[in-house]
């Protein structure tokens, strides 16, 4: 059974094609142009379908997705806010979308100005001195930041092999540090979910290159001692890297530079509303203090008078992290968003995001424990541990929420909360949506006690039931394979078209 | 203007439910002296004002559609069928995130499974992942994979690999205990003798590009044999459209195949976002970076799809992960899947043939107006030419720029010996009129 999930390959009929091309005036014989040994012998088994097949197939598939446009998507730490249509419209204009990366600056002054201004806007929002827009995602921003940290210490002729990372950090932090050749040392959070100054002090030494921290942290709490933390690190000659994934909590409230951090990445697909696209592309610009600006990747956009240009020089630069200038299409959307909101809109955004999170937390706190029950910022983490008495896990609750028409919060993260669910409503959800979501959660908590099997079997109301992830991992099936019959058909069609 | 639906009155009501006297109560953890005093950002704008602003910025750009572009260099202007944009602009595709909740993400998951199949087929490799950021990061991740696969510490990279890709590889590898050795070229292709001489038992991988940065076709089969004879991995960076005609990496024994997949249905956008393709042999499956989607069943036995083999990844393995990559280039991966479905094997082949034909036609015409081919090698749709006249090559390019032509990319910055050379490109989008315009401008 395939439950309506027929693959595009299974709709293939030999000899069909969904595109047409203009004729070619003078066609030279292929064998005169390419040596026979270099020519492909077997065409790829791609689907042979017409345009309407493709449109219906991928439209139907789209309807098997929950998305921000269609469902409340309170995925903690991912800031699933509304993605304005205006941003899409402008990014699709050919004078942005159809620029070639090697075009001379004389033909791309508008784009260069936009990128230059975007860097300035991000400086204005964060208080940092300079930005690179090159990193293609948050994790690549982290990698860029770590290379800058390494370059900084090398310039001082210091070998510092250690990066300190709190146990509540995103998994990308330790992975990026390891990919940059650092040794990761984990810092245990204190009983209040925050960095414990004593614990930090114990781990600081002249071996430490930097502390990577997230603020507000992944519990949605502002590190109260941030000033002391950054001061302490600096005393030991270590830098402080801020994972800016949670910037949606801080707009117009705290400029990260004022915390004393030396560098950070921003996730434009989170705070600055560029669409997540089912997993990307995002953008992870990195901002630094003036002391680190020379280490930023090249090329940089420069302004001379009223003219803009790319500058690929940079003796102290860590080098390129992207083939060209980063995810320009994403940067255009973020620029449009920031200019639309402006100073007042940014202020209202974080304020409403924080009120929405606290409001939902207040409603949740009557249902389940909130282990670190302080006022949160943009998100909070609840624990579903009490439901375990009836055999129900956070994973089951997540699946049951799908039945109620809500995407599930992030579960089992951060690791410091048992049976954790991390909820981030964002500012773009209405009070009515939050009320309905809290009601659904209340019903599910009741169900967990009275009908735990409903949760164990969830979801029941979607196109498919719970998928067997264990089987997927045990017997990896990562691609469709044509059976013998269709393989023969494909060969035959290639003979016709060849 | 902002996108907050709750009114100030509602926000105040919500604060009362929270039990806070004011919004400031919620910020009690934040030291007062750290609070921002307003942002250095202009005031917000209405939608018509933003459109006007964006139009004024766009007016400072010229798209390749308005000009005659002959630039490739890793960014190729290919036709995008209308249906790609029509489907991809749907909110159900554009606004979900990584499909952690499989049952509510079957659309994205099945699409990625189809994508993985198409890319495996296109590259003729055993397995492809759900994509990485772009071609350059795929290339760098291939180097990282090779170094982490065993105790070998040397990468041999041909100097005919796109220089930006080699720069990104170097950035990624700073901090690794390894050596990247550049293999020189002879007459536009990797010097096999130099490669053979460099093959030692500490070589983790040999990394080549097909077609290479000069547009020349490399002896991939021989290079791959040299790599394998010494127990090294063979990494091929390829150009997806060319595979409508050229041998795919699997046919010449590549262990890892990477590519920039933007040419499969996504616009140039000044070079980003890209679509990093990454495929490998079965033996390397558990070392792959990035997301993988697998086909499985649900409790009722129906076919279903889910993220799988996640124990390789950062959110599980943290510092022991195969890569720090969190996501993929989901939306471009969708566009590539739609694009390849529309083209099929015949359409892909035709797009490749037209690119090849236009390229050979244009090179002939450029020869007629005074350019000389720099290398005598077969090529697909890019080729390197020298401007041998007395006029400085840079001056010629500026002259062409004024005539609305985006020239081939000058190579002197990376290849001092190629001081008068540029690499030119044609695709199926290149018209006879554009070719005429270029030749007229050169003669003028």
- Residue B311's pLDDT band (cuts 50, 70, 90): confident
Tell whether A267 and A171 lie within a shared domain: yes
| B380 located within any domain | yes
- Residue A3's pLDDT band (cuts 50, 70, 90): low
Tell whether B183 and B328 lie within a shared domain: yes
Tell whether B180 and B327 lie within a shared domain: yes
Residue A296 CA, chain-centre distance (Å), reads 22
| B51 located within any domain | no
- For residue A1, pLDDT beyond 60: no
Tell whether A306 and A357 lie within a shared domain: no
Distance from CA of A240 to the nearest CA of B (A): 17
| B49 located within any domain | no
User: What backbone phi and psi angles, to 5 degrees, belong to A334?
Assistant: -65, -40
Q: Give DSSP secondary structure letters for A101-112.
A: TTS-GGGBHHHH
Domain endpoint, select from B318, B339, B360: B339
Minimal-distance CA residue of chain B relative to A330: B273
Q: Which of A77, A97, A279 to mutate against chain B (most B CBs within 10 Å)?
A: A279
Asked if A199 reaches chain B (Cβ–Cβ under 8 Å), the answer is no
| B280 located within any domain | yes
Nearest to A322 among B11, B50, B136 (CB): B136
Tell whether B194 and B243 lie within a shared domain: yes
Asked if the Cβ–Cβ distance from A252 to B56 is below 8 Å, we say: no
Q: Contact at 8 Å (CB) between B113 and B293?
A: yes
- For residue B304, pLDDT beyond 70: yes
| A71 located within any domain | no
- For residue A488, pLDDT beyond 70: no
Minimal-distance CA residue of chain B relative to A43: B345
Q: How far is residue A137's CA from residue B133's CA, in Å, rounded to a whole number?
A: 8
The pair of three-digit structure tokens given for residue A453, joined into one six-digit string: 């099997």
Domain with A243 in it: 87-341
- pLDDT for the residue A286: 98
Query: Residue A354: which CATH number?
Result: 3.90.1150.10
- Residue B317's pLDDT band (cuts 50, 70, 90): confident
User: What backbone phi and psi angles, to 5 degrees, belong to B145?
Assistant: -60, -45
Tell whether A395 and A290 lie within a shared domain: no
pLDDT tens per residue across span A161-210: 999 999 988 889 999 999 888 999 999 988 888 999 999 999 999 999 99
Tell whether A205 and A174 lie within a shared domain: yes
Residue A243 CA, chain-centre distance (Å), reads 12
Query: Residue B305: which CATH number?
Result: 3.40.640.10
Provide the chain A residues 89-148 that lie in CB contact (below 8 A) with chain B: 90-104, 106-111, 113-114, 121, 123-125, 127, 136-140, 142-143, 147
The pair of three-digit structure tokens given for residue B113, joined into one six-digit string: 């499974």
- Beta pairing partners, B409: B423
Q: How far is residue A306's CA from residue B193's CA, in Å, rounded to a whole number?
A: 52
Tell whether B108 and B200 lie within a shared domain: yes
- For residue B281, pLDDT beyond 80: yes
Nearest to B345 among A3, A46, A341 (CB): A46
Q: State the average pLDDT over residues B307-331.
A: 84
DSSP A294: G
pLDDT tens per residue across span B121-144: 999 999 999 999 999 999 999 999
Asked if the Cβ–Cβ distance from B114 to A8 is below 8 Å, we say: yes
Tell whether A147 and A223 lie within a shared domain: yes
Domain endpoint, select from A324, A341, A358: A341
Based on the structure, what is the number of domains in chain B? 2
DSSP A478: -
Q: How far is residue A290's CA from residue A130's CA, in Å, rounded to a whole number?
A: 7
| B281 located within any domain | yes
Q: Which residues of A205-233 are buried (b: 16+ CB within 10 A; e: fewer)?
A: eeebbbbbbbbbbbbbbbbbbbeebbebb
Tell whether B372 and B334 lie within a shared domain: no
Query: Residue B358: which CATH number?
Result: 3.90.1150.10
Residue A163 CA, chain-centre distance (Å), reads 22
The pair of three-digit structure tokens given for residue A325, joined into one six-digit string: 């200038």
Tell whether A466 and A482 lie within a shared domain: no
Distances (CA, A) of B437 to A98, B7, B441, B443: 20, 58, 6, 10
Tell whether A37 and A171 lie within a shared domain: no
Tell whether A182 and A270 lie within a shared domain: yes
Crossing angle between the packed helical segments B330-368 and A51-62, to the nearest 10 degrees: 150
Tell whether B334 and B437 lie within a shared domain: no
Q: How far is residue A345's CA from residue A351's CA, in Å, rounded to a whole number?
A: 10
Tell whether B161 and B75 lie within a shared domain: no
Residue B324: closest CA among B297, B293, B358, B290: B290
- Considering the entire predicted model, what is its pTM? 0.96
Based on the structure, what is the number of domains in chain A? 3
Distance from CA of B191 to the nearest CA of A (A): 18
Tell whether B86 and B75 lie within a shared domain: no
Cis peptide before A299 (omega within 30 of 0): yes
Find all residues with CB under 8 Å of B154, minimum gap 6, and list them.
Answer: B178, B179, B180, B181, B200, B202, B203, B204
Domain endpoint, select from B312, B339, B366: B339
Chain A residues with CB-CB distance to B176 below 8 A: 181
- For residue B382, pLDDT beyond 50: yes
Chain B residues with CB-CB distance to A59 below 8 A: 87, 90
Tell whether A213 and A134 lie within a shared domain: yes
Q: State the average pLDDT over residues B2-17.
A: 98
- State the DSSP H helix or E strand holding residue A214, giving kind and residue range, or none if neither: strand A208-214
Q: State the average pLDDT for chain A.
A: 94
| A362 located within any domain | yes
Distance from CA of B400 to the nearest CA of A (A): 11
- Beta pairing partners, A240: A211
Asked if the Cβ–Cβ distance from A94 to B63 is below 8 Å, we say: yes
Q: State the average pLDDT over residues A16-26.
A: 92
The pair of three-digit structure tokens given for residue B209, joined into one six-digit string: 């590009």
Q: How far is residue A30's CA from residue A252's CA, in Å, rounded to a whole number?
A: 62
- pLDDT for the residue B312: 81
Q: Contact at 8 Å (CB) between B155 and B178?
A: yes
Asked if the Cβ–Cβ distance from B34 to A347 is below 8 Å, we say: no
pLDDT tens per residue across span B398-410: 999 999 999 999 9
Q: How far is residue B336's CA from residue B351's CA, in Å, rounded to a whole number?
A: 15
pLDDT tens per residue across span A348-406: 999 999 999 999 999 999 999 999 888 999 999 999 999 999 999 999 999 999 999 99
Nearest to A100 among B333, B360, B406 (CB): B406
Asked if A408 reaches chain B (Cβ–Cβ under 8 Å), the answer is yes
Domain endpoint, select from B323, B339, B355: B339
The pair of three-digit structure tokens given for residue A147, joined into one six-digit string: 């290379």
| B9 located within any domain | no
Residue A445: closest CA among A402, A399, A384, A395: A384
Find all residues with CB under 8 Å of B73, minimum gap 6, and list them.
Answer: A101, A102, B162, B213, B382, B409, B423, B425
Tell whether A325 and A402 lie within a shared domain: no
Asked if the Cβ–Cβ distance from B71 to A100 is below 8 Å, we say: yes
Q: How far is residue A246's CA from residue A261's CA, in Å, rounded to a whole number?
A: 15
| A81 located within any domain | no
- pLDDT for the residue B442: 95
Tell whether B246 and B202 lie within a shared domain: yes
Q: How far is residue A167's CA from residue A200's CA, in Å, rounded to a whole number?
A: 12
Chain B residues with CB-CB distance to A355 below 8 A: 6, 11, 14-15, 18, 23, 26
Distance from CA of A217 to the nearest CA of B (A): 12
Domain with B354 in it: 68-80+344-443
User: Secondary structure of chain B in the HEC alphabet?
Assistant: CCCCCCCHHHHHHHHHHHCCCCHHHHHCCCCHHHECCCCCCCECCCHHHHHHHHHHHHCCECCCCCCEECCCCCCCCCCCCHHHHHHHCCHHHHCCCCCCCHHHEHHHHHHHHHHHHHHHHHHCCCEECCCECCHHHHHHHHHHHHHHCCCCCEEEEECCCCHHHHHHHHHHHCCCCCEEEEECEECCEECHHHHHHHCCCCEEEEEEEECCCCCECCCHHHHHHHHHHCCCEEEEEECHHHHHCECCHHHHCCCEEEEECCCCCCCCHHHCCCCEEEEECHHHHHHCCCCCEEEEEECCCCEEEEECCHHHCHHHHHHHCCCCCCCCCHHHHHHHHHHHHHHHHHHHHHHHHHHHHHHHHHHHHHHHCCCEECCCCCECCEEEEECCCCCCHHHHHHHHHHCCEECCEECCCCCHHHCCEEEEECCCCCCHHHHHHHHHHHHC
The pair of three-digit structure tokens given for residue A393, joined into one six-digit string: 């896990």
Asked if the Cβ–Cβ distance from B64 to A98 is below 8 Å, we say: yes
Tell whether B427 and B308 lie within a shared domain: no
Nearest to A33 among B175, B269, B356 (CB): B356
Query: Residue A215: which CATH number?
Result: 3.40.640.10
The pair of three-digit structure tokens given for residue A256, joined into one six-digit string: 């990260």
- pLDDT for the residue A2: 52
Q: Contact at 8 Å (CB) between B137 and A139?
A: no
Sign of torsion over alpha carbons A225, A229, A231, A235: positive
Distance from CA of B53 to the nearest CA of A (A): 9
Distance from CA of B20 to the nearest CA of A (A): 9
Tell whether A331 and A368 lie within a shared domain: no
The pair of three-digit structure tokens given for residue A473, joined into one six-digit string: 């991992």
Tell whether B142 and B284 lie within a shared domain: yes
Q: How far is residue A361's CA from residue A355's CA, in Å, rounded to a whole number?
A: 10
Distances (CA, A) of A282 to A81, A395, A424, B190, B273: 14, 27, 19, 35, 8
Asked if the Cβ–Cβ distance from B45 to A342 is below 8 Å, we say: yes
Find all residues with CB under 8 Å of A439, minimum gap 6, and list them.
Answer: none
Q: How far is residue B13's CA from residue B56's CA, in Å, rounded to a whole number?
A: 42
- pLDDT for the residue A179: 87
Asked if A55 reaches chain B (Cβ–Cβ under 8 Å), the answer is yes
- For residue A498, pLDDT beyond 50: no
Q: How far is residue B347's CA from residue A16's CA, in Å, rounded to a whole number?
A: 9
- pLDDT for the residue A108: 97
Chain B residues with CB-CB distance to A107 below 8 A: 61-62, 67, 401, 406
Asked if the Cβ–Cβ distance from B53 to A54 is below 8 Å, we say: no
Asked if the Cβ–Cβ distance from A328 to B63 is below 8 Å, we say: no
Q: Contact at 8 Å (CB) between B429 and B79?
A: yes
CA angle B321-B327-B330, nearest 5°? 145
Chain A residues with CB-CB distance to B376 below 8 A: none
- For residue A485, pLDDT beyond 70: no
pLDDT tens per residue across span A429-477: 999 999 999 999 999 999 999 999 999 999 999 989 999 999 999 999 9
Tell whether B278 and B140 lie within a shared domain: yes
| A142 located within any domain | yes
Tell whether A309 and A296 lie within a shared domain: yes
Instruction: Compute and round to an integer the Cα radius of gyration of chain A.
Output: 26
| B8 located within any domain | no
Q: State the average pLDDT over residues B6-22.
A: 97
Residue A330: closest CA among A67, A79, A88, A77: A88
Decide: helix, strand or coil at residue A147. Answer: helix
Nearest to A137 among B19, B305, B327 (CB): B327
Exposed/middle/buried for B315, CB within 10 Å: 0-12, 13-18, 19+?
middle
Distance from CA of B201 to the nearest CA of A (A): 23
Decide: helix, strand or coil at residue A163. Answer: strand
CB atoms within 10 A of CB A25: 9
Asked if A270 reaches chain B (Cβ–Cβ under 8 Å), the answer is no
The pair of three-digit structure tokens given for residue B356, joined into one six-digit string: 């090849």
- For residue A213, pLDDT beyond 90: yes
- Beta pairing partners, A65: B105
Give percent of chain A with pLDDT exceeding 70. Answer: 96
Distance from CA of A442 to the nearest CA of B (A): 17
Q: Contact at 8 Å (CB) between A334 and A283?
A: yes
- How many cross-chain Cβ pairs, A to B, lie less than 8 Å apart? 723
| B11 located within any domain | no
């Amino acid at each position: 059974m395939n439950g309506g999930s027929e693959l595009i390959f299974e709709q293939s009929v030999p000899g069909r094609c969904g595109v047409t091309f203009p004729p070619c005036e003078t066609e030279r014989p292929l064998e005169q142009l390419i040596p026979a040994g270099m020519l492909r012998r077997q065409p790829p088994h791609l689907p042979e379908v017409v345009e309407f097949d493709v449109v219906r197939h991928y439209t139907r598939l789209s309807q098997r997705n929950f998305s921000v446009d269609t469902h409340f998507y309170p995925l903690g730490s991912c800031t699933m806010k509304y993605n304005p249509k205006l941003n899409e419209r402008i990014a699709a204009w050919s004078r942005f979308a159809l620029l070639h990366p090697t075009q001379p600056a004389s033909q791309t002054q508008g784009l260069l100005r936009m990128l230059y201004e975007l860097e300035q806007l991000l400086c204005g929002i964060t208080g940092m001195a300079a930005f690179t827009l090159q990193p293609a995602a948050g994790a690549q921003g982290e990698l860029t930041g770590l290379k800058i940290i390494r370059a900084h210490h090398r310039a001082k002729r210091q070998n510092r092999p250690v990066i300190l990372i709190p146990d509540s950090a995103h998994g990308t932090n330790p992975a990026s540090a390891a990919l940059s050749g650092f040794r990761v040392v984990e810092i245990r959070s204190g009983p209040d979910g925050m960095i414990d100054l004593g614990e930090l002090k114990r781990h600081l030494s002249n071996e430490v290159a930097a502390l990577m921290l997230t603020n507000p942290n992944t519990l949605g709490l502002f590190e109260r001692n941030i000033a002391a933390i950054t001061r302490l690190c600096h005393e030991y000659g270590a830098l402080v890297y801020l994972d800016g994934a949670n910037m949606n909590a801080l707009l117009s409230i705290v400029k990260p530079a004022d915390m004393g951090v030396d560098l950070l990445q921003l996730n434009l697909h989170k705070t600055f509303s560029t669409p997540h696209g089912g997993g990307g592309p995002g953008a992870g610009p990195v901002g630094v203090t003036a002391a680190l600006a020379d280490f930023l990747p090249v090329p940089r956009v420069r302004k001379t008078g009223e003219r803009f240009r790319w500058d690929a020089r940079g003796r102290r630069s860590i080098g390129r992290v992207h083939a060209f200038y980063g995810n320009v299409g994403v940067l255009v959307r973020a620029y449009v968003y920031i200019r639309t909101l402006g100073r007042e809109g940014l202020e209202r955004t974080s304020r409403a995001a924080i009120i929405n999170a606290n409001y939902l937390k207040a409603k949740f706190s009557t249902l389940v424990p909130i282990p670190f029950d302080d006022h949160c910022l943009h998100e909070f983490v609840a624990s579903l541990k009490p439901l375990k008495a009836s055999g129900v896990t956070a994973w089951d609750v997540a699946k049951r929420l799908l039945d109620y028409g809500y995407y599930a919060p992030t579960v089992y993260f951060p690791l410091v909360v048992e049976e954790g669910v991390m909820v981030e409503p964002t500012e773009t959800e209405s009070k009515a949506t939050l009320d309905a979501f809290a009601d659904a959660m209340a019903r599910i908590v009741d169900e967990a006690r009275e009908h735990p099997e409903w949760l164990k079997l969830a979801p029941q109301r979607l196109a498919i039931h719970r998928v067997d992830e264990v089987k997927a991992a045990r017997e990896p099936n990562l691609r469709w394979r044509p059976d013998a019959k269709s393989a023969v058909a494909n060969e035959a069609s290639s003979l016709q078209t060849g | 203007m902002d996108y907050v639906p709750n009114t100030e009155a509602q926000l105040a009501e919500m604060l009362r439910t929270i039990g806070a006297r004011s919004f400031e109560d919620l910020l009690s953890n934040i030291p007062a002296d750290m609070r921002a005093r307003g942002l250095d950002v202009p005031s917000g704008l209405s939608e018509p004002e933003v459109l006007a602003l964006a139009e004024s910025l766009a007016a400072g750009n010229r798209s390749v559609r308005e000009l005659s572009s002959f630039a490739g260099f890793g960014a190729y202007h290919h036709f995008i069928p209308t249906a790609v944009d029509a489907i991809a602009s749907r909110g159900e595709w554009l606004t979900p995130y990584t499909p952690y909740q499989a049952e509510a993400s079957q659309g994205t998951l099945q699409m990625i499974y189809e994508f993985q199949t198409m890319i495996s087929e296109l590259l003729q490799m055993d397995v492809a992942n759900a994509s990485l950021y772009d071609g350059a990061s795929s290339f760098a991740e291939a180097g990282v994979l090779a170094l982490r696969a065993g105790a070998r510490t040397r990468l041999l990279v041909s100097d005919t690999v796109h220089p930006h890709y080699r720069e990104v590889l170097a950035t990624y590898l700073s901090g690794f205990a390894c050596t990247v050795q550049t293999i020189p070229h002879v007459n536009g292709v990797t010097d096999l003798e130099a490669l053979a001489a460099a093959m030692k038992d500490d070589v983790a991988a040999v990394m080549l590009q097909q077609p290479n940065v000069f547009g020349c076709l490399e002896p991939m089969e021989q290079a791959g044999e040299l790599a394998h004879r010494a127990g090294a991995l063979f990494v091929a960076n390829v150009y997806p459209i060319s595979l409508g005609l050229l041998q795919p990496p699997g046919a010449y024994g590549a262990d890892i195949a990477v590519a920039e997949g933007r040419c499969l249905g996504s616009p140039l956008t000044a070079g980003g976002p890209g679509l990093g393709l990454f495929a490998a042999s079965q033996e390397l499956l558990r070392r792959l970076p990035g997301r993988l989607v697998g086909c499985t069943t649900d409790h009722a036995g129906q076919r279903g799809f889910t993220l799988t083999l996640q124990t390789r990844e950062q959110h599980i393995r943290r510092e022991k992960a195969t890569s720090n990559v969190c996501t993929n280039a989901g939306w471009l991966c969708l566009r590539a899947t739609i694009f390849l479905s529309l083209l099929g094997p015949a359409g892909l082949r035709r797009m490749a043939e037209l690119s090849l034909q236009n390229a050979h036609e244009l090179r002939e015409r450029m020869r007629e107006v005074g350019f000389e081919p720099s290398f005598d090698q077969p090529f697909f749709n890019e080729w390197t030419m020298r401007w041998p006249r007395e006029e400085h090559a840079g001056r010629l390019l500026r002259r062409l720029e004024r005539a609305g032509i985006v020239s081939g990319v000058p190579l002197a910055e990376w290849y001092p010996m190629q001081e008068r050379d540029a690499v030119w490109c044609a695709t199926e989008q290149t018209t006879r009129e554009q070719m005429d315009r270029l030749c007229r401008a050169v003669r003028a």
